[in-house]
Amino acid sequence: MTFYDNRNKGIGYIMCHSPDFQHSVNVWVSIDPEENTAKPITHDNLIIMCVYFTVRHCIEADWLNDRDQFLYPNNKWKKDIEFQNDCLAFTLFHGQNNISIKKGVNHWIPFSEKEVNAHEKFDSHFMLSFIGGKIIPNGYSDLFGQEKNEWCEKRVFSPEATAVFDAGRELWRYYHTQKDANPNAAFYDIREYFQGRRVLYPNAQSRMNNKSNDEEYNKLIANLRGKMKVLAKKIEPKIYEYGFLMK
């Protein structure tokens, strides 16, 4: 990758691993650099990193493709704004988005407080600002830097991506009806809240459960995952068209 940014303030890191399907499970987003493959995500390369993340996760690995290599693409993707916006939506609501308030400020909330009926103001409106192509004063507006960059423009989402946002918004709203809801919770935190964690065997790290005892949450997360699958199918042909993968 040639889009690393060590100059600007970061909103997280992406773990970059070997460019084949079997290592895509090791590609995730987090607030802190959890390993030496981590690369900063900033306002200046957010879209590019979301494209990278989506390309790695959009197509599921199987025994036929698990050794396939991801390639350096042609330049057509740079002019496809809808593709870029689809990748942003996909990254925000994917299970490998491990952004968590346990590790720092959450700059990844794509909604306003009013949209999700939050009882307190968020610590950061960065993602909402980025999507809107403008700066919303909140103490973190300097994440955009002094000059407006080429990626900072109002984002207009496809019907498939909009459906993902709508499903995600309903999930956020339900979370904020909980008495102990944290206003700054990220997607990972919301999933962990409802699904809980368990230790599979002694001395092992705990893992998030696959399901929740809350049936309303199960319904909402299933709806979101369904919309994500539709979005993934929309994105998939462009991964081949733009040369990220060869058929």
pTM above 0.85, yes or no: yes
Please, which residues have CB within 8 angstroms of residue 246's CB and are 6 or more apart in sequence?
68, 71, 240
Please answer whether residues 170 and 220 qualify as being in contact, where contact means their C-beta atoms are separated by less than 8 angstroms. Answer: yes
**Residues 218-244, mean pLDDT to the nearest whole number:** 97
Assess whether pLDDT exceeds 60 at residue 30.
yes
More confidently predicted of 164 and 143:
164
139 pLDDT band, cuts 50/70/90, is very low
- What the block records as the tokens of 154 is 């109002």
Does 246 reside within a domain?
Answer: no
Does 2 reside within a domain?
Answer: no
Which percentage of the chain shows pLDDT scores above 70? Answer: 89
Assess whether pLDDT exceeds 50 at residue 105.
yes
Assess whether pLDDT exceeds 70 at residue 66.
no
Does 102 reside within a domain?
Answer: yes
Question: Could you list the residue range(s) of the whole structural domain that residue 179 is in?
Answer: 10-241
**Residues 95-105, mean pLDDT to the nearest whole number:** 96
- DSSP string across 172-228: HHHHTTSTT--TT--HHHHHHHHH-EE-SSTTPPPEE-SS-S-HHHHHHHHHHHHHH
pLDDT at 72: 87
Assess whether pLDDT exceeds 50 at residue 138.
no
Does 49 reside within a domain?
Answer: yes
* Sign, CA torsion 91/49/186/153: negative
Does 120 reside within a domain?
Answer: yes
* Sign, CA torsion 105/96/208/114: positive
Total residue length of the chain: 247
Angle made by CA atoms 184, 231, 207, in degrees to the nearest 5: 50
Does 247 reside within a domain?
Answer: no
Amino acid, res. 173: R
* Sign, CA torsion 17/19/23/26: positive
**Residues 147-167, mean pLDDT to the nearest whole number:** 85
Please answer whether residues 166 and 226 qualify as being in contact, where contact means their C-beta atoms are separated by less than 8 angstroms. Answer: no
More confidently predicted of 152 and 74:
74
Q: CA 216, CA 118: separation in Å to the nearest integer? A: 19
Q: What's the domain count of the chain?
A: 1
CA 167, 208, 110, 77: dihedral to nearest 10 degrees?
A: -90
